[in-house]
Copies of this chain bind each other. A is one copy, B any other.
Amino acid sequence: MKIAIVGFGVVGQALVRLLRERSGELYRRHGFAPRIVAAIDTRGAALSAQGLDIAALLRTKASDGTVATIPDCGVSRVDNEQVIAECGAHVLVEATPSSLRDPQPAIRHLKAAFRAGLHVVSVNKVPLAVAFPGLRELADYNRVMFRFSGTVGAGLPVLALAQQCALGDEILSVRAVLNGTTNYILWRMHEAGLDFAAALAEAVRLGYAETDPSADVDGVDTAMKTVIFANVVLDRAATLADVQVAGIRDLPRERIATAAAAGRRVKLLAELGEKLRVGPQEIEAHGPLDVPANLNAVSLSLRHGGEVTLRGPGAGGVETATGVLRDLLDIWHALGSAP
């Protein structure tokens, strides 16, 4: 299977590393022998119909900050949509950063792929959060597969689990901690008595938060994941505008102390019931959603099966890359393991 990657940052690099490390096992267990025929970053692309050398990709990206300088394969300043359509890939991995300020480039990448008959694995949440119903329709119309496991829960198979539960049972409502950065901040405010600014600074220092942490602390990242979950699992044609969002910026330390005194914890919760809501909420201490550090947790309330909860790491480059690999194998098997 030939793969094109647009966006060669943390996740893109973790993915090619994972494909290289596990190549023997992936071929033995799944007959899966992927080739990267295009890697596109902000300064250009590397192209090879025979498959790019993964070591060269990683080395050049590290030394030059781009893959466009790889001898023979590198090209500066390319038209991304043209490369996607013409590189001969079967699948596009969309791994550019999720920026709500400008969703258009990522949306154009997906549309170019769908129209050229490429299946798509998106890591970027933004196109899905602002235009999911239309993108799914375009994928169906072009008879290609559209997967995005890594957008919710990173490597944690949140969407797959919920789809399994929805098959045999009925999901009545969902409560979830979907943002590791804010969970870390709230956890440290409780555990160490830090105020918001100190906890945020610590999260930035440890690499859990971006230098501009707005999308996390203002609840927007959680809201995007909520929209994706609602569309995929609950069959609701929702977009970001349908989510009532509050963040945790400058949440007073006292609010957390008061909750703790009552045996409760404050979490940035996504709630998917009749309405879609994101905001700080109190939950029971030591209950299923009370996860420490930067973990995620998703709790499904089922008609017959009671409360089912999945918890684990919900962020990180290599974790997200394992989600992308799941999607690639899913597509590979759905194609009858060829090409």
Give residues in A with beta carbon < 8 Å to B: 18, 22, 149, 155-157, 160-161, 164-165, 167-170, 286, 288, 302, 304-313, 318-319, 321-326, 329-330
Contact = CB atoms under 8 A, between A and B. Distances in A.
Contact of A157 (B161, B306, B326): B161
29 contacts: A22-B170, A155-B169, A156-B305, A157-B161, A160-B160, A161-B161, A161-B310, A164-B326, A167-B325, A167-B330, A168-B321, A168-B323, A168-B324, A168-B329, A169-B322, A169-B325, A286-B286, A288-B311, A304-B318, A305-B313, A305-B319, A305-B322, A306-B312, A306-B313, A307-B312, A307-B313, A308-B310, A308-B312, A310-B310
> Nearest 9 A-B pairs (CB), nearest first?
A308-B312, A168-B322, A168-B326, A155-B305, A168-B325, A157-B164, A306-B313, A169-B322, A286-B286
A304 B155 contact: yes
A36 B304 CA distance: 22
A18 B164 contact: no
Contacts of A170: 22
Contacts of A18: 304
Contacts of A313: 305-308
A322 B300 CA distance: 15
A324 B170 CA distance: 14
Contacts of A149: 168
A248 B241 CA distance: 54
A214 to B, nearest CB: 27
Contacts of A309: 310-312
Contacts of A155: 168-169, 302, 304-305
Contacts of A307: 312-313
A329 B169 CA distance: 12
A322 B304 contact: yes
Contacts of A319: 304-306
A310 B169 CA distance: 17
**Residue in A156, A168, A308 whose Cβ sees the most chain B Cβ within 10 Å:** A168
A27 B302 CA distance: 20
Given A169-B322, A307-B313, 11 more contacts: A149-B168, A155-B169, A160-B160, A168-B325, A168-B326, A169-B325, A302-B322, A304-B318, A304-B319, A306-B319, A308-B312
Contacts of A324: 168
Contacts of A286: 286
Contacts of A156: 305, 308
Nearest to A309: B311
A264 to B, nearest CB: 14
**Residue in A309, A318, A321, A330 whose Cβ sees the most chain B Cβ within 10 Å:** A309
A197 B167 CA distance: 40
A198 to B, nearest CB: 25
A304 B161 CA distance: 19
**Residue in A307, A318, A322 whose Cβ sees the most chain B Cβ within 10 Å:** A322
Contacts of A330: 167
Contacts of A304: 18, 155, 318-319, 321-322
A135 to B, nearest CB: 21
